[in-house]
């Protein structure tokens, strides 16, 4: 490893924050600083070697990071929504794979906190406080139509059997428990929770994307997995109509990973400039660090990162307000406001951070493209994160909402669409 690589890998997580910092965040940030410092030190090497961060996930769980929103009474830190996202931004700067692979975990905890997940809620919170990690298996690449599923959960005496194949099972390969979406024999949706080591569960590390390569977003196969009735919850209807704060929550975790990668790109660009001794003949300074043009690039990158982070945290505050209003007269209004603000944040954040991770290479010549430095991983990770819930559809949805008053869509899925004539019968 070169001197430059060492400087970049161990650079402190000291990106300037935007907005007031409360004591809750400050205390927790200090508590988790050691584990975050360890994670950032090996991030570039893990990416080069495609070494899954099993040890890093367990270190976060042991430090209490995965239980940060669990109430204190159940053994967690009781952190609020904005504090969680501030911490996820810090984690994303250390390694952008980690907030994404923990997205289903934090969403499961949030489901319990808002009352959407009621089965043995107190018990689950205690299990998570003890270090258990929850994964996800919801997406399919089958020929099912949009909104439908091929994975089934069927009664088997007093219990159930789960069978099917899932893709993009982000985080499950690191998890103790997996939340699975399935359909019942009568076509209703169900949420099924299985242990990752249950007989019949096959976790595969076959994610082949060029970015976010360490999220464990591979396939999960279920072959007649035995599931007790207590871990099967049949949902009312299809679950694709009601407004919910969970849609914004899930999107904001992705944006935290994305902005975290932008912060890391800025950090590494600064480290690269400080380490350079060679200059160009057409340059304007005795060193890269004193060249006004290089300073201008770094200043612009910092503005884009600050703007993106501010946008994410503003959406997190809107989400917190909607969560606090649950069950009240303004619940629908504030939920819609949080969703709209989150989608707007997605559009501008993707634009800004893609620019950051592209233009960071303007601070140096061909040496900046060295595989040993790993600067390319920031662009690859951001481009991959930006491809989730494609922005083009979000832009149209906002325009339709503002111009025509169309309701926002709170349930996203993929699948095959039948021709209009076939759908009409």
Does residue 81 or residue 411 have the better pLDDT?
81
Distance separating alpha carbons of residues 66 and 2, to the nearest angstrom: 34
CATH of domain 3-132: 1.10.540.10
Lowest-confidence pick of 96-100, 224-228, 326-330: 326-330
Whether the Cβ atoms of residue 348 and residue 310 lie closer than 8 Å to each other = no
Q: What phi and psi values does residue 323 have, to the nearest 5 degrees? A: -65, -40
Tokens of 271: 């480290």
pLDDT tens sequence across 271-327 = 999 998 777 667 677 788 999 999 999 999 999 999 999 999 999 999 999 999 999
CATH topology of domain 137-234: Butyryl-CoA Dehydrogenase, subunit A; domain 2 (2.40.110)
Are both 137-234 and 246-404 of the same fold?
Answer: no
Within 129-250, strands assigned E span: 134-137, 152-156, 159-166, 177-183, 189-195, 201-204, 219-227, 232-234
Q: Which of 232, 38, 214 is nearest to 152 (CA)?
A: 232
Q: Does the pLDDT value for residue 420 go beyond 60?
A: no
Q: Is the pLDDT of residue 356 over 70?
A: yes
Domain spans of the chain?
A: 3-132, 137-234, 246-404
2 pLDDT band (50/70/90 cuts)?
Answer: very low
Total-model pTM: 0.91
- The string of DSSP letters for 305-339 reads HHHHHHHHHHHHHHHHHHHHTTTSTTHHHHHHHHH
Lowest mean pLDDT: which of 53-57, 78-82, 87-91, 364-368?
A: 364-368
User: How large is the average pLDDT for residues 207-227?
Assistant: 97
Place of tokens 């985080």: 171
Residue 232 Cα distances to 140, 161, 179, 391, 412, angstroms: 19, 10, 10, 34, 22
Nearest-angstrom CA–CA distance, 249 and 253: 6
User: CATH topology for 246-404?
Assistant: Butyryl-CoA Dehydrogenase, subunit A; domain 3 (1.20.140)
């Amino acid at each position: 490893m070169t001197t430059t690589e060492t400087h970049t890998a161990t650079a402190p997580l000291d990106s300037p924050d935007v907005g007031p910092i409360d004591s809750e965040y400050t205390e927790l940030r200090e508590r988790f600083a050691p584990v975050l410092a360890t994670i950032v030190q090996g991030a570039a090497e893990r990416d080069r070697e495609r070494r899954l961060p099993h040890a890093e996930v367990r270190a976060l769980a042991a430090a209490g990071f995965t239980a940060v929103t669990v109430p204190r009474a159940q053994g967690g830190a009781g952190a609020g929504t904005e504090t969680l996202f501030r911490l996820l931004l810090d984690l994303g700067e250390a390694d952008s794979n980690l907030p994404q692979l923990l997205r289903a975990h934090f969403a499961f905890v949030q489901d319990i906190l808002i009352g959407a997940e009621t089965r043995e809620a107190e018990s689950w919170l205690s299990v998570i406080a003890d270090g258990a990690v929850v994964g996800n298996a919801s997406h399919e690449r089958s020929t099912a139509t949009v909104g439908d599923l091929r994975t089934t959960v069927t009664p088997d005496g007093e219990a159930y059997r789960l069978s099917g194949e899932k893709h993009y099972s982000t985080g499950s390969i690191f998890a103790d428990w997996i939340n699975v979406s399935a359909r019942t024999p009568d076509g209703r949706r169900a949420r099924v929770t299985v242990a990752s080591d249950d007989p019949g569960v096959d976790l595969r590390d076959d994610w082949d994307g060029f970015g976010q390569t360490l999220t464990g977003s591979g396939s999960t196969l279920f072959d007649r997995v035995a599931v007790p009735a207590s871990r099967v919850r049949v949902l009312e209807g299809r679950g694709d109509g009601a407004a919910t704060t969970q849609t914004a929550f899930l999107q904001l975790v992705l944006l935290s990973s994305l902005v975290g990668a932008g912060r890391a790109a800025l950090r590494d660009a600064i480290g690269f400039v400080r380490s350079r001794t060679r200059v160009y003949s057409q340059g304007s300074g005795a060193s890269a660090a004193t060249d006004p043009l290089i300073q201008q690039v770094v200043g612009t990158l910092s503005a884009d990162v600050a703007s993106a982070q501010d946008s994410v945290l503003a959406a997190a505050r809107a989400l917190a307000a909607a969560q606090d209003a649950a069950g009240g007269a303004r619940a629908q209004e504030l939920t819609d406001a949080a969703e709209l603000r989150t989608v707007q944040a997605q559009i501008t954040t993707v634009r800004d951070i893609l620019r950051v991770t592209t233009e960071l290479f303007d601070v140096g010549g061909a040496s900046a493209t060295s595989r040993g430095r790993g600067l390319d991983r920031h662009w690859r990770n951001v481009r991959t994160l930006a491809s989730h819930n494609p922005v083009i559809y979000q832009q149209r949805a906002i325009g339709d909402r503002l111009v025509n008053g169309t309701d926002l869509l709170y349930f996203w899925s993929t699948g095959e669409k039948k021709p209009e004539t076939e759908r009409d019968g």
